[in-house]
Amino acid sequence: MKRILQTCMAVVLCLTILTGQAAALTASERFRRAADIINERGLIAEQSPIPQETIDEDAVYLEDNPDALSNILNDILSGMDAHSMYLTAEEYQAGFSTLSGYAGIGIAVAQTDDGLIIREVVRHSPAAEAGMQVDDRLIAIDGKDVTQTPLSEIGTLLQGETGSTVRVTVERDGKKVDFSLIRETILSENVSARQAAPGVEYIAISAFSSMNDAEDFEEIWNGLDEKETKAVILDLRDNGGGMIDAALAMLDLMIEPKTKIATMHYREDQGGDEVYYSTGGGLPLNKITVLVNGNTASAAELMAGVLHEVGGATLVGSKTYGKGQGQYHLKLDGDYLVLTCLEMLLPGSGGWEGKGLTPDVEAHALRTIRGYLKDAAPLDETKPVRYGEQSAQAKAVCQRLHALGYLAEPTDVLDTPALGALRRFQTDAGLGTRLNADTDTLQALSLACESASSRGRMIDDVYYTALALCTEAAQKPLRYEPQADGSWRAA
């Protein structure tokens, strides 16, 4: 999708230059400019352009009613398709925050008894590139002592204009370390992974914000063979899409054969259909399940559909949103024109705009953790549970691991599957893996369940449905042989 991005960036640059060279445009002039762009670049406008008579009439009306600009443009755009819109900068930031991000250095800070402690350093950020670390203590920003500054003000001090410089001083191992950082647009980290069960990897993608997401995914995917992974649960629930380029790059890593994977349909005067092929060589897994729901949309639907039709993946969950069109995001005189410019087509079934994708296995999260634990065995936080122990206390531990998403089928025995789930919880809780459920683990387990209950969390039966499918697939032999040099070959 490089051509899409290059075209979009060229339009943004052109509009920004024109705006900077002239006095502020009137609402009528801004409307004419937007209407011209819609007619020149909009997919639907290729067949149904805005009539010149309408443009002239609305432009005259806006001379006396400039506040009507947004309403007039959005009335026109809504008549073309469901996704094009004209937004103020504030509306755009609120609606597309995963794409627009913020300008900063990429750290998350927490207020503790020891002061302002860095709890997260965003990958690929200025802070990460400069060597800032988790657990560094923040002591100064631009030479100003911030040890007594409220946490609510720290973000304001660290953020600023893209390209501007901020000096940050931290304390590490009793020594001061100074950093001079150039602020960049910081996007959220959208790709995460963990082992769900022996031979089964769980990968969640919450959005496709930038090619950084594709790089993060590549690092995870290329490490699967070292874990002798046999099956993958790919969670695309609540993923509203983003950069098609990033989704296609991830798909190319996953698809085994060299084959057609997607078609992007543009206007004829912008090149018409552009077909994409996989390069082949994806890791031969026994199973891929893709979790979807009503908020899985756009590039996420593209990924789910391609994996289903080409990669043989099983879709689990509920019907997807049904957004099969892509948009340019064009900055226009301080506001934004989000304009449909292409339709995405799957290699077999074609488009899904307005229809969505129907899962192979329908599943829903219908149980609350609070409700489930009301009927669970009571947990005694002072009574450790040993590996292999069969008891009511072991059942209580297993039920809580199930409620939190670590154990598919709770029993009254802390057996091998339950111990694996317990160790994953211990790792996530920062306890380190242990051979039993000791008192520290029991207390952490109880607190985690209380927190999840208070936030109204549901037991993820969609995930457990997929986990059962993947666990069964993981019982079969590996379809590849890991090599000593870190590569693999087909079995």
Q: What is the rounded CA–CA span in Å between residue 223 and residue 199? A: 13
pLDDT of 39 > 90? The answer is yes
Tokens of 467: 């986990």
pLDDT of 183 > 70? The answer is yes
Q: Are 62 and 27 contacting, i.e. CB atoms less than 8 angstroms apart?
A: yes
How many CA atoms are closer than 13 Å to the CA of 250, on its beta-carbon side?
Answer: 33
Phi and psi at residue 101, to the nearest 5°:
65, -155
Average pLDDT over residues 426-440: 90
pLDDT of 6 > 90? The answer is no
| Conformational region of residue 131, where left means phi above 0, alpha means psi within -120 to 50, and beta covers everything else | left
Phi and psi at residue 379, to the nearest 5°:
-105, 125
Which of the two residues, 9 and 262, has the higher pLDDT score?
Answer: 262
Q: What is the rounded average pLDDT for all residues in the chain?
A: 90
Average pLDDT over residues 201-227: 94
> For residue 303, what pLDDT is reported?
98
Tokens of 373: 């634990």
Which three-class secondary structure state does DSSP give residue 216? helix
Q: What is the rounded CA–CA span in Å between residue 100 and residue 54? A: 33
> For residue 45, what pLDDT is reported?
96
Mean pLDDT check: name the lowest of 8-12, 24-28, 67-71, 117-121: 8-12
Who contacts 159 (Cβ-Cβ below 8 Å, separation ≥6)?
102, 103, 104, 183
pLDDT over 90 for what percent of the chain? 73
Which of the two residues, 316 and 113, has the higher pLDDT score?
Answer: 316
> For residue 260, what pLDDT is reported?
97
**pLDDT band, residue 108 (cuts 50/70/90):** confident
**pLDDT band, residue 91 (cuts 50/70/90):** confident
Mean pLDDT check: name the lowest of 43-47, 115-119, 187-191, 344-348: 187-191
Of 93, 103, 88, 115, the residue nearest 156 (C-alpha): 103
pLDDT of 100 > 70? The answer is no
pLDDT of 326 > 80? The answer is yes
Mean pLDDT check: name the lowest of 97-106, 109-118, 336-345: 97-106
Q: What is the rounded CA–CA span in Å between residue 110 and residue 118? A: 6
- Structural domains in the chain, sorted by start: 2-100 (no CATH), 102-186 (2.30.42.10), 191-325+346-362 (3.90.226.10), 367-459 (1.10.101)
- Return the axis-axis angle of helices 69-78 and 52-64, rounded to nearest 10°: 160
**pLDDT band, residue 23 (cuts 50/70/90):** low
Average pLDDT over residues 255-271: 96
Who contacts 335 (Cβ-Cβ below 8 Å, separation ≥6)?
30, 70, 86, 87, 88, 89, 92
How many CA atoms are closer than 13 Å to the CA of 241, on its beta-carbon side?
Answer: 20
pLDDT of 437 > 90? The answer is yes
pLDDT of 22 > 60? The answer is no
Q: What is the rounded CA–CA span in Å between residue 292 and residue 315? A: 7
Average pLDDT over residues 272-279: 96
Average pLDDT over residues 472-477: 96
Phi and psi at residue 322, to the nearest 5°:
100, 40
Average pLDDT over residues 289-303: 96
Mean pLDDT check: name the lowest of 6-15, 22-31, 217-226, 424-433: 6-15
Mean pLDDT check: name the lowest of 22-26, 50-54, 146-150, 404-408: 22-26
How many CA atoms are closer than 13 Å to the CA of 409, on its beta-carbon side?
Answer: 8
> For residue 98, what pLDDT is reported?
57
> What tens digit of pLDDT does each residue of 193-213 get?
999 989 999 999 999 988 989
> For residue 332, what pLDDT is reported?
86
**pLDDT band, residue 76 (cuts 50/70/90):** very high
Q: What are the angstrom distances between the C-alpha of 487 and each of 147, 222, 284, 287, 458?
A: 48, 9, 13, 20, 39
Average pLDDT over residues 23-51: 93
**pLDDT band, residue 430 (cuts 50/70/90):** confident
Average pLDDT over residues 2-20: 32
> For residue 99, what pLDDT is reported?
60
> For residue 21, what pLDDT is reported?
40
Which of the two residues, 6 and 197, has the higher pLDDT score?
Answer: 197
How many CA atoms are closer than 13 Å to the CA of 121, on its beta-carbon side?
Answer: 17
Mean pLDDT check: name the lowest of 16-20, 26-30, 431-435: 16-20
> For residue 101, what pLDDT is reported?
64
> What tens digit of pLDDT does each residue of 353-400 get?
999 999 999 999 878 999 999 999 999 999 999 999 999 999 999 999
Q: Are 402 and 457 contacting, i.e. CB atoms less than 8 angstroms apart?
A: no
